[in-house]
Amino acid sequence: MDLKGRLALVTGGGVRVGRAISLALAAKGARLAVHYRASRAEAESAAAEIRKAGGEAVLLQADLSRMEDVERLASEAERAAGGVDVLVNSASAFFRTPVEAITEADWDALLDGNLKGPFFLARRLGLAMRARGRGKIVNITDWAAERPYPSYLPYCISKAGLAAATKGLARALAPSVQVNAVAPGPILPPPGMSESERAEVASGTLLGRWGSPSDIAAAVAFLCESDYITGETLTIDGGRSLAGPAGTS
């Protein structure tokens, strides 16, 4: 797909990896719908940067854990410019949940926001893409979907579910819509991670370093432009998944 003039909706598109994805797709000529839940200032900053570079961007707010918000977001995005051509499910909740202390509220927050919302948004927009005869969906999962962190189990389960949804939607929406995933490894340290912990993570990769949001954005752009890849997960982890056992923190 030539992204020039296409409308791309990026959830969580104003912060961290989502921001890098928004800017990368805009640099390819896509028009952006930048979604945010609470980070309006960051979303406005990303949109302003896109516009300054000569691109187009609109802001859309929604809480992806709420089905009514998912439906509203899909409708607003579809109305923005005659239909969404690209959906990137980047928004994600992430917090520590030691197995002894996991609550139902923790489970619901992580599974609803990271799996239920993205799935129903992809289904709604994917069916519209299929009806128009073209579309791309890229889900941002995690390398830990395959090797879960014991103290982040609901998060890892949500990402494993999104990986399964990627394959299922690829089959359901073929051949006109391609659905893929990108699984980041060590890209951005979580808040509170010490320098020694960062160094330990880096040493656990084959490349001996952390990646950057631009690595994920480039992979997303590649999958959006390719027309002969579907149902696949592209792991961007510096070789961490080959280097040794999963962490225990």
Q: From the candidates 36, 152, 155, 228, give the one annotated as an active-site residue.
A: 155
Q: pLDDT tens-digit profile of 112-144? A: 999 999 999 999 999 999 999 999 999 999 999
What the block records as the tokens of 36 is 């945010």
Q: What is the pLDDT of residue 80?
A: 84
pLDDT, averaged per 10 consecutive residues of the chain (249 residues), comes to 97 98 98 97 98 98 98 95 94 96 98 98 98 98 94 97 98 98 95 91 96 98 98 97 63
To the query of whether residue 155 is one of the catalytic residues in this protein, the response is yes
Q: What is the pLDDT of residue 244?
A: 65
Domains (range + CATH), the chain:
7-235 (3.40.50.720)
Q: pLDDT tens-digit profile of 148-184? A: 999 999 999 999 999 999 999 999 999 999 999 999 9
